[in-house]
Structure 1
Amino acid sequence: MSDVSWAQVAARRLARHGLAVSSASDVAPDADRVADVVSAMCGAHAQVASAAELSVGLRVPGATRALVRRALWSDRTLVKSRGPRGTVHLLTAADLPMWTGALTAMPTPPWEQSRALLTPQQTEQVLAAIADALAEAELTTAELTEEIVARTGAWAGERVMEAFQDRWPRWVAAMAAATRGGVMCHGPNRGRATTYTSPARWLPGFAPMAGPAALAELARRYLYAYGPATPAQFAQWLSATERWATGVFKSLDLAEVTVAGTRAWVVADDTDFPDDRPSGVRLLPYFDAYAVGCHPREQLFPGAAAERALAGGQAGNYPVLLINGTVAGVWHQRRSGRTIRVTVEPLRALGTGRQRALEAEVERVGEILEGKPSLTIGTVAVGPHA
């Protein structure tokens, strides 16, 4: 068993997430390159579309939000669906069989309401109705409700599901199972309305991978991007139980290492760590995969960073300033037309070199989001997820 330093772990993760400092690539960015990056980071959280576009764009030299959108809606190398923790993510179309196979094989999350609002038979009816309605269509929630009710019965449209001071139709309780199982995914927005469609329109011949093989592959991908890691950290990433995650780890060929004295695991044939120290200044958006997926938290969010950049111990609710692979502040952007006002709150004074690197990173944020940025160093007054 080998002992590796936090610096080695951070340098390895930065490189694998496409966040290491490097010169601009001579290769023009394209949809395939975008997909490669999203696959390597095991999906990009996409509840906030602009955050997902920035998260991906930061990892692809020369990319803009337009390229990320093209990869998603035109070239369809990306697909918008549910990923880790049941949250909306950008995933690669090529990885979709793995994701759906793995998520379906996991224990049903305790927060899922389908068992309380639908019988198993009703759930099967709803899933079949969704598959039929979306086979060749992109439908809003209201349109999909009409189609499901027509195929199942009025019970599916009863507004019984609590939702943000409103009630959703009963069938929506099966939506998580439908996306998890590859029955539906997001289609392009129609104005401000979300649409849904069939994943087979993104990946012809699509079928979920067999559960055990999919779980093993997903765990190996996770350890490649976020390892060394423990079963508890893998469980937290997926919103599963530690006991279940421990069983998954035991089924794999893993090697044990220690990170600053703490036991963790990597895939047995992936035990190399760089000798170079992590470097660079990055501005990561809300729910960036690096900030959410990496552990130990006390190393990634040291000292004051834990108090300032975590919300109740949860990562992702604040955009973070990353220096040498470690959280060193928070930031916020406010857009008005093409103007993007960026406020960065470092937790310690920046030297001349880091100040220049931060200015360059703000310019890069502006390029990705296709706006004109300005930088203010000062207090970020807004709260988490503002």
Structure 2
Amino acid sequence: MSGRRRHIGAPERRARLAAGQRLAPSARAGSAEEVAGSLVALHGTDPATVYLAVGARLRDPSKTVADVERALYTDRSLVRMHGMRHTVFVFPAALTAVVHASTGVAVAARERASFVKHLEAGSEHDAAWLADVEAGTLAAIGARGEATAAELAQDEPRLRTQLLYAPGKKYEAWQSISTRLLRVLGMEGRVVRGRPRGSWTSSQFRWALTPAHPELPAAEAQSELLRHWLGSCGPATEADLKWWTGWKVTDVRRALVAVGAVEVELDEGAGFVLPDAVEPVTTDAGPWAALLPGLDPSAMGWQQRDWYLPPELRAPLFDGAGNIGPTVWWDGRIAGGWAQGKDGVIRWRLLADVGREAAAAVEAAAARLQEWVGEARVTPRFRTPLEKELAGPAPAKK
């Protein structure tokens, strides 16, 4: 970009977030596919996150569970698979080939090499034996359509082969190879997680064969994934892009050139937007409140977060590994956190003084969440200090 770079300050970034991330009431979506398309990727490590993230962005949240299950397991318009940073996400089906080629292939190669090395060091088996077990496993999945690891082991008993994990550590344990083998096959794009056993909060998934998709050149796929993400989350810094994708900085820079990204000035320094997103955002969504789940894409979308997360609020909202818990948002900023108590009640707390209007709006958002969650119980996989405190015993009535 020649001449002086246009400055995009924090207020405009928050306005873009409200609309692009489907968080302002006027921007809410009509389906799970619309939400996923806008966000590119929904964190899937914690199964409940997918439903809660979609529910916060639908015009009619009461339809969330049925709509997400339809998209994931009936229409297959959304797919749960490994993606960036070795993490499980839910992607639009149209992006599965892009994610696989841009990110999954390289990660899977490292994961397979590590698995084979561990197998050969800890047993009498080798890569050829593992390939034979894989063939049996894939045949069993094909015959069953969908199956859990335990069900697959009935057809392919070698999946029960035990390996010692973390030898010499306090947490060392013998485990069957099934979990790790299915993880490798998932990273390689050969299997995907199917319908879980139990409710929408369950993490015990069945496995299914991956639908056929084209094999794309890595550079082409990286450019396409970055174009989608920058269109949803831009502007972003180079550090944001490197962190979110997990790529080398050279890959990020090559993809930025390929999509014609335009450099702009952010409060943090240089940032990038797509060519059609340089002009100022003129739509004012008005102040809005939202209760978002742990690992929500809007909370985890950027590495540099000061423009929407005051640094002084981080300690109670993150666990020790850097995973964010359930958050309360007011007008584009994180202002507190929430949890569901054992009695099912949604409890929230503001950590910043944002005024009575904000408190009333958050109360309404909490009631909206309470209504659609109903009798379900949601405990985040990654517990944070504030979430654990709010989820504890109900405060005594005065």
| TM bucket normalised to smaller | 0.7 to 0.9
- Residues 12 and 273, structure 1, Cα contact 8 Å, conserved in 2: no
Tell me the distance in 1 between the aligned counterparts of 2:296 and 2:109. 23
**2:9 aligns to what?**
5
Q: 1:243 to 1:22 in 2, by over 3 A?
A: same
- Residues 117 and 170, structure 1, Cα contact 8 Å, conserved in 2: no
Tell me the distance in 2 between the aligned counterparts of 1:313 and 1:166. 22
**1:197 aligns to what?**
208
Tell me the distance in 2 between the aligned counterparts of 1:128 and 1:261. 50
**1:69 aligns to what?**
69
For residue 380 of structure 1, report the CA deviation from its aligned partner.
4.0
**2:294 aligns to what?**
286
Tell me the distance in 1 between the aligned counterparts of 2:334 and 2:161. 46
For residue 319 of structure 1, report the CA deviation from its aligned partner.
0.8
Q: In structure 2, which of residues 125, 142, 165 is the aligned counterpart of residue 135 of structure 1?
A: 142
Higher fraction of strand: 1
Where structure 2 has 5 or more consecutive residues not aligned to the other structure, the ranges are: 120-125, 378-384, 393-398
Matched, 1:382 2:391: no
Tell me the distance in 1 between the aligned counterparts of 2:155 and 2:390. 38
Q: In structure 2, which of residues 306, 321, 337 is the aligned counterpart of residue 298 of structure 1?
A: 306
For residue 111 of structure 1, report the CA deviation from its aligned partner.
7.0
Q: In structure 2, which of residues 162, 169, 174 is the aligned counterpart of residue 159 of structure 1?
A: 162
Letter in 2 for 1:79: V
Tell me the distance in 2 between the aligned counterparts of 1:126 and 1:319. 40
Letter in 1 for 2:24: A
**1:376 aligns to what?**
none
Matched, 1:117 2:118: yes
**2:81 aligns to what?**
81
- How many pairs are equivalent? 362
For residue 19 of structure 1, report the CA deviation from its aligned partner.
0.6
Q: In structure 2, which of residues 25, 47, 50 is the aligned counterpart of residue 49 of structure 1?
A: 47
Task: Name the SS of the counterpart of 1:22 in structure 2.
Answer: helix
Tell me the distance in 1 between the aligned counterparts of 2:244 and 2:366. 29
**2:36 aligns to what?**
38
Q: 1:46 to 1:108 in 2, by over 3 A?
A: closer
Tell me the distance in 1 between the aligned counterparts of 2:326 and 2:228. 25
Deviations, residues 209-245 of structure 1 (Å, cap 9, x unaligned): 4433222111111111222223322222233443443
Where structure 1 has 5 or more consecutive residues not aligned to the other structure, the ranges are: 374-378
Matched, 1:188 2:202: no
**Cα RMSD (Å):** 3.2
Choose 132-141 or 287-296, whichever is displaced more. Answer: 132-141
Matched, 1:221 2:228: yes
Deviations, residues 69-94 of structure 1 (Å, cap 9, x unaligned): 23222333222222332222222223
For residue 287 of structure 1, report the CA deviation from its aligned partner.
0.4
Tell me the distance in 2 between the aligned counterparts of 1:24 and 1:14. 10
**2:382 aligns to what?**
none
Q: 1:115 to 1:224 in 2, by over 3 A?
A: farther
Tell me the distance in 2 between the aligned counterparts of 1:171 and 1:125. 13
- Residues 332 and 343, structure 1, Cα contact 8 Å, conserved in 2: yes
TM-score by length of 2: 0.79
Matched, 1:255 2:259: no
Tell me the distance in 2 between the aligned counterparts of 1:209 and 1:282. 38
The sequence identity of aligned pairs, in percent, is 22
Q: 1:385 to 1:195 in 2, by over 3 A?
A: farther
- Residues 46 and 90, structure 1, Cα contact 8 Å, conserved in 2: yes
For residue 251 of structure 1, report the CA deviation from its aligned partner.
3.9
- Residues 101 and 181, structure 1, Cα contact 8 Å, conserved in 2: no
Letter in 1 for 2:117: A
For residue 55 of structure 1, report the CA deviation from its aligned partner.
0.5
Matched, 1:230 2:271: no
- Residues 328 and 362, structure 2, Cα contact 8 Å, conserved in 1: no
For residue 252 of structure 1, report the CA deviation from its aligned partner.
3.4
Tell me the distance in 2 between the aligned counterparts of 1:230 and 1:125. 45
Choose 357-366 or 120-129, whichever is displaced more. Answer: 120-129
Q: 1:372 to 1:189 in 2, by over 3 A?
A: closer
Matched, 1:353 2:351: no
TM-score by length of 1: 0.81
Tell me the distance in 2 between the aligned counterparts of 1:268 and 1:216. 14
For residue 289 of structure 1, report the CA deviation from its aligned partner.
0.3
- Residues 320 and 329, structure 1, Cα contact 8 Å, conserved in 2: yes
